[in-house]
Copies of this chain bind each other. A is one copy, B any other.
Amino acid sequence: MPRIRHKRLDCSPGCAVEATLELIDGKWKGVILFHLLQGTLRFNALRKLLPNATQRMLTMQLRELEEDGFIHREIYPQVPPKVEYSLTEHGRTLEPVILALKRWGDAHTSFGASGRQAEASAKHEAEAGTH
């Protein structure tokens, strides 16, 4: 079982929400998990997908995801060395969470895949709310 961090949680029924958030809210973790849902990726491919993450930060987040049992790192003994990351079975259980986050972001933030459409739909929602 992966290491579970949460020193600071109360134990109200809602704290399972916080427990999950604590595991995936590290900077870039959500987006790393999202990309690995599509398949195995080499370190350099991940770097290209996250151009704003520094190499150090990306390495750190990948290490934590590995420690938590969400991703697997495969090192191929060749020159130059090839390192591939993939989701573990445990990591794949996060799929509904990551997809829910993605869907909400797409629909409700300017960073969504369909920004303009999202704005229109948010406007529509707001108008509907005033009736």
Task: List chain A positions with a Cβ less than 8 A from chain B.
Answer: 1, 4, 6, 8-21, 23-25, 27-28, 30-35, 49-53, 89-90, 93-94, 96-113, 119, 122, 125-126, 129
Contact = CB atoms under 8 A, between A and B. Distances in A.
B14 A30 contact: yes
A105 B10 contact: no
Instruction: Count copies of this chain in the complex.
Output: 2
Instruction: Give chain A's interface secondary structure class.
Output: helix
A57 to B, nearest CB: 10
Given A12-B50, A16-B109, 19 more contacts: A1-B126, A4-B109, A4-B110, A4-B111, A9-B52, A11-B111, A14-B49, A17-B31, A17-B34, A18-B31, A18-B105, A20-B101, A20-B104, A23-B109, A89-B126, A90-B125, A96-B104, A97-B104, A100-B101
